[in-house]
Amino acid sequence: MRWASAVSEKFSLADSVAEAASQVRAELGGAAPDLALVFVSPHHGPDFDDLPHMLAEALEAKALIGCSGGGVIGAGTEVEERTGLSLTVANLPGVELTPFHVVDGGFPDPDAGPTAWEDLIGVTADKEPQFVVLPDPFSFRADSFLSGLDYAFPGSAKIGGLASGGQQPGANALFIGDRVHRQGAVGIAMHGDIRVDTVVAQGCRPVGKSVVVTKVERNILFEADDKPLIEVLREVFEASNQRDQQLINRALHLGVVTDPLKDEYKPGDFLIRNVLGLDRESGGLIVGELLREGQLVQFHVRDADTAAEDLQTMLHQYATNSRPESASGALLFSCLGRGQHLFGRPNHDTDLFLKEVGPLPLGGFFCNGEIGRVGPSTYLHGFTSSFGVFSPKSS
């Protein structure tokens, strides 16, 4: 297995393709590319329809997927708010590739079994496929699709992100093979001699203590530990230092425990969701997640320092507990709200990844939502950096 990644900031799309393709071919050292992933900024929008043909001539890869991105990442470099094209390719001996395009409304019936999902994708669960999924945010229910993939392929990794850069329906582009789509989702299922490790950094840290949901209606949380939610929040606020009090006022989130059987909880055990505000009539807290009684939750806060600490913790934990020395390449799907907007400098997340995990070819893009596993399930996140690290299964 061999990966290569490049980024080009040429004004012309044809020149960008030529430059990036030349770099990745050289890095592959003569090995033929089986998979190509391309992410391209909206500056090249007028030429999106020509991109698959350009890449086919330049690379002759067996499979191609990609999408538009408000920022792109290639060769460990983040290109934001300017013209950019990211190209990541892989030579994958012993790996079968199944590209797919799915449109909203084409999902199996809720009562259908796993076989219906296998038929939709074109691969069976017993082959243990690993997924990269790139949905359009305007036309596709990504949450429902990911739930279906988890149902049919529970042991498979799923990573990816929502296409970005377009400001209205039809403005984003999804690339697959020689086609360009403006709705739905494109993706690829990979099976055989391949393993995908996932690292999801949600950029938050907990404040206060965990509490049990005791009264809730859909996404409005009324009580926890049998106390009004506003009282619970007041106790957290009063017990916090000045910095955390400021963050509670402007950057409050709720973490939902994904595995209630654990005795202790660490970063990565909470699914982080936005706190959308207070319901004035009831005094309940409106959260960006459907909750149920009995769940364990804890308030979290976020800022640049917290996001940096969380990312370093998650990457260090992965590098310590896994086998990154066998890895050949990686993909990063990062929120548009991270990058320079959050950290005040470029390449923050990529630099930290290369430092903690190693000098791997790293490509990706800045998304409208990031896909990654927390606990046993796959979710659509925000303000997150979701990494996929690729290795031979036989290593």
DSSP letter for each residue of 124-148? -GGG--EEEEEE-TTT--HHHHHHH
What does the block give as tokens for 161?
Answer: 């992100």
Q: How far apart are CA 129 and CA 154, in angstroms?
A: 10
- On the question of pLDDT at 395 being above 80, the answer is no
How high is the pLDDT of residue 101? 97
Task: With a cut of 70, say whether residue 320 has pLDDT above it.
Answer: yes
- HSE at residue 130, side-chain half, CA atoms within 13 A, is 20
Percent of all residues in the chain with a pLDDT value above 70, rounded to a whole number: 98
pLDDT at 205: 87
| 25 CB neighbour count, 10 Å cutoff | 18
Q: What are phi and psi of 315, to 5 degrees?
A: -70, -40
Q: Show Cβ contacts of residue 281 under 8 Å, excluding neighbours closer than 6 positions.
A: none
Instruction: Please compute the mean of the pLDDT values over residues 47-55 and round it to a whole number.
Output: 96
Q: What is the mean pLDDT of residues 66-91?
A: 96
59 vs 55: CA distance, rounded Å: 6
User: Around Cβ 343, how many Cβ atoms within 10 Å?
Assistant: 18
Task: Give the residue among 272, 286, 251, 274 at the shortest CA–CA distance from 375.
Answer: 272
Distances, alpha carbon 258 to alpha carbons 161, 266, 380, in Å: 21, 11, 14
Q: How many Å apart are CA 331 and CA 66, to the nearest integer?
A: 12
Report the C-alpha gap between 314 and 286 in whole angstroms.
Answer: 28
Q: Which of 388, 380, 312 is nearest to 145 (CA)?
A: 380
Residue 30: pLDDT band by 50, 70, 90 thresholds?
confident
8 A C-beta contact, residue 366 and residue 383: no
Is the confidence at residue 272, as pLDDT, over 70? yes
% of the chain exceeding 90 in pLDDT: 74
The residue that leads in pLDDT, 154 or 288, is 154
Arithmetic mean of pLDDT, 162-184: 96
User: Which of 14-23, 99-108, 122-131, 257-266 has the least mean pLDDT?
Assistant: 257-266
Confidence at 110, pLDDT banded by 50, 70, 90: confident
Confidence at residue 394, expressed as pLDDT on a 0 to 100 scale: 80
Query: What average pLDDT does this structure show over 28-39?
Result: 94
User: In this structure, are residues 272 and 300 in contact, taking their beta carbons and an 8 Å threshold?
Assistant: yes
Report the sign of the C-alpha dihedral through residues 141, 144, 149, 152, in that order: negative
Res 263: pLDDT = 65
317: exposed, middle or buried (Cβ count in 10 Å: 0-12, 13-18, 19+)? middle
Q: Which amino acid is at 280?
A: R
Confidence of residue 63 (pLDDT cuts 50, 70, 90): very high
* Class of residue 109 by CB neighbours under 10 A (exposed 0-12, middle 13-18, buried 19+): exposed
Contact 147, 107 (CB under 8 A): no
Banded pLDDT at 237 (limits 50, 70, 90): very high
Question: How far apart are alpha carbons 245 and 315 in whole angstroms?
Answer: 28
The tokens for 182 are: 């403006």
Query: How many Å apart are CA 20 and CA 23, to the nearest integer?
Result: 5
**pLDDT at residue 261, as a whole number:** 67
Rg of the chain, C-alpha, whole Å: 21
Q: Which residue has the tokens 């001996």?
A: 93
